[in-house]
Amino acid sequence: MKQFLISYRFAEGSSEEAWHQEVHRFIAAIEADADLSGKLSYKCFKSLKGPEYYHLATPVDEATTELLGTKEFFKKYTEETERVSGNTVTVTPLELVAGTK
């Protein structure tokens, strides 16, 4: 199973609270989308020590990743993430090696 770690530092925008609302809207759009609901886990984390954000996306398969990329709400969210980060977003594909049950 491949996962994606998206990391950046919040740098621009009206407020972190407004950004959090945008993240909630994005997750709600995933859950409301008949093609993606139940096929993509998406979580957002904020560092307790600073403005760093980490998002973990876990699609069930490559087809889900490709489908997400076609969605207009994903394209807009990606653009806004780049903007609030000052164009510092890093996407790191991860492969699970081991874990607890």
- DSSP three-state, residue 64: helix
Q: Which domain holds residue 84?
A: 2-95
pTM as predicted: 0.92
> Is residue 100 domain-resident?
no
> Is residue 21 domain-resident?
yes
Taking the C-alpha atoms of residue 34 and residue 40, their distance in angstroms, rounded to an integer, is 11
So what's the pLDDT on residue 14? 77
Q: What is the residue type of 2?
A: K
> Is residue 15 domain-resident?
yes
> Is residue 101 domain-resident?
no
What separation in angstroms does the CA of 54 have from each of 63, 69, 90? 23, 19, 10
> Is residue 67 domain-resident?
yes
pLDDT means per 10 residues, the chain with 101 residues, are 94 90 98 97 97 97 96 98 96 94 91
> Is residue 42 domain-resident?
yes
HSE-up of residue 88 (Cα within 13 Å, Cβ side) = 13
Q: How many domains, in total, are found in the chain? A: 1
As given in the structure block, the two tokens for residue 45 are 């984390």
> Is residue 49 domain-resident?
yes
